[in-house]
Structure 1
């Protein structure tokens, strides 16, 4: 299984505090119709931190069932509790996801040796692809390129990384140390094109929640070597990259989808609605992009 191109970090629609399965299925279908290359349920953008284990497992199963093998499903299954991560990863494999996305343990601040031990413990319990998620801004720990090379060497299931440091020097070192067969995916929309330009496979994207076709087209162009087209799409989407992070993700993205009529805005605490000023900025960005 190869994870490449534009892979959407899906939001989880809620209605009256509960998962809105009908809206979620319709949203997944629209993503596929628009040409998206893959889907991630239960990532940070899916508000996984506020889902119960039962809800988490249900969201993954809904996604796998709706996709029916048409695009890869990379299930969010990480935790800062290794036992919990093992449980969620085993269940993702049982649900027939194509792989699992595993965030580095947050808050605990493990050493590099602790990170290796964490992922080894998970790898010993499953036999399907694992993509490690490195996002120091949320976890307070940076998985170093040398450590990733160790993971690749010692854990066959670890086949790639979602690299969200925003540091292209680190991305370059990951590609240098881990080789071309290692799947390096950008974890930030704004570094998607530069990451692919130096050998990355694509992006796990936030803005593709509301512009899946454009992000897929940008990735297709970049991966086929058409940098002129890729750059044009990158710069056309750049205002949306900024708008999606006017406040903490995924509140702006859910607001954008509500404005576009996909489903009503609803987040779970501690997420809250955008301030009126930022909501107006988001609306302007969407209007200028022709989305409203």
Structure 2
């Protein structure tokens, strides 16, 4: 699963002022990332505002990205939810042409037991032959999937190839790295901890900020994977402030503000999210202009 090592980015969904999908901006964002070192792209993840994207829009987004990418780098599609049967149905009926793997977020709101997590992902693993990356993000789902459950899934299902861990918990990363099977990928879902995870033996990151600064961020992660900590931390320190800024209010309003300042897409988001405040926008604009 070397195709998912390095820097993946969780793409935003650019919108026009009328909040329809901005296809031209999406193409621009994809090409910008491919041309500047991003290793793979994640489509329709939570950063892509998947909760407020219609089925028709999701297919449009997939079609545009698959065509634009043209097999230049791998693509991962977000397929997850808290209705296991619906997730399984999508896996069995969707056309996955051009898709290299899926990222499946842990069930949100329902707060399953560890056995519930296991059975949910077991059903998903048995529904597809595609490589599956688990996604543990307890700050959004309200329940942590413990390392023992992740390891159980990793050992029982060959197509569960990795986990995007986003609990912002260094000790949990360490537990996963200590016990993981040899070829199982521990992928950081926390931009602020990504370098440390790479240096500790992780496989890289699925990043939010990486899509705005792909050249610098992917270089930092590559240096981390090579164990070149001093060089890598120079880039990390340079980007620390903006990583804090983009998550200060909500995601993806922060990263869309960065992308607007870079001239890639607008900062429009769909309710219940709102644009970054004027104060935050000013801080982001200042950072981008000086960067």
TM (norm. structure 1) is 0.95
Alignment of 1:76-225 (within 5 A): 76-90=78-92, 94-225=96-227
Structure 2 contact 154–181 (Cα < 8 Å) conserved: no
1:183-215 CA-partner distances (Å, limit 9, x unpaired): 011001101011011110101101112101111
Deviates more, 1:168-177 or 1:106-115: 168-177
Contact 1:132/1:160 (8 A) holds in 2 = yes
1:57–1:88 Cα contact (<8 Å) kept = no
Distance 1:164 1:175 in 2: 14
Aligned to 1:53: 55
Higher alpha-carbon deviation: 106-115 or 65-74 = 65-74
Describe how 1:39-78 pairs up with structure 2 within 5 A.
39-78=41-80
The more displaced of 203-212 and 53-62 is: 53-62
* Structure 1 contact 131–160 (Cα < 8 Å) conserved: yes
1:12 aligns with 2:13: yes
The answer (yes or no) to whether the contact 1:251–1:267 under 8 Å persists in 2 is: yes
Quote the residue 1:233 is aligned against.
235
User: What's the secondary structure of 1:6's corresponding residue?
Assistant: strand
CA shift for structure 1 position 88: 3.6
Q: What displacement does 1:92 show?
A: 6.0
Give the whole-Å Cα distance in 2 for the aligned partners of 1:177 and 1:53: 38
> For 1:93 and 1:188, how far apart are their aligned partners in 2?
30
Contact 1:135 1:164 in 2 (8 A): yes
Q: Distance in 2 between matches of 1:57 and 1:199?
A: 36
Taking structure 1 as reference, are residues 91 and 22 closer, same or farther at Cα in structure 2, changes over 3 Å only? farther
Secondary structure at 2:193 match in 1: helix
Provide the rounded CA distance (Å) in 2 between the counterparts of 1:94 and 1:210: 27
Decide whether the 8 Å contact of 1:256 with 1:282 is kept in 2.
yes
Structure 2 SS opposite 1:18 = coil
Q: 1:31 to 1:258 in 2, by over 3 A?
A: same
TM-score, length-scaled by structure 2: 0.95
Aligned residues: 289
Counterpart residue number, 1:29: 31
Cα deviation per residue 1:198-257 (whole Å; 9 max; x = unaligned)? Answer: 110101101112101111100111112221111111111111111111211000111111
Does the CA contact (< 8 Å) of 2:52 and 2:270 recur in 1?
yes
SS at match of 2:183: coil
Say whether the 8 Å CA contact 1:161–1:184 is kept in structure 2: yes
Tell me, yes or no, if the aligned pair for 1:93 and 1:128 is still in contact at 8 Å.
no
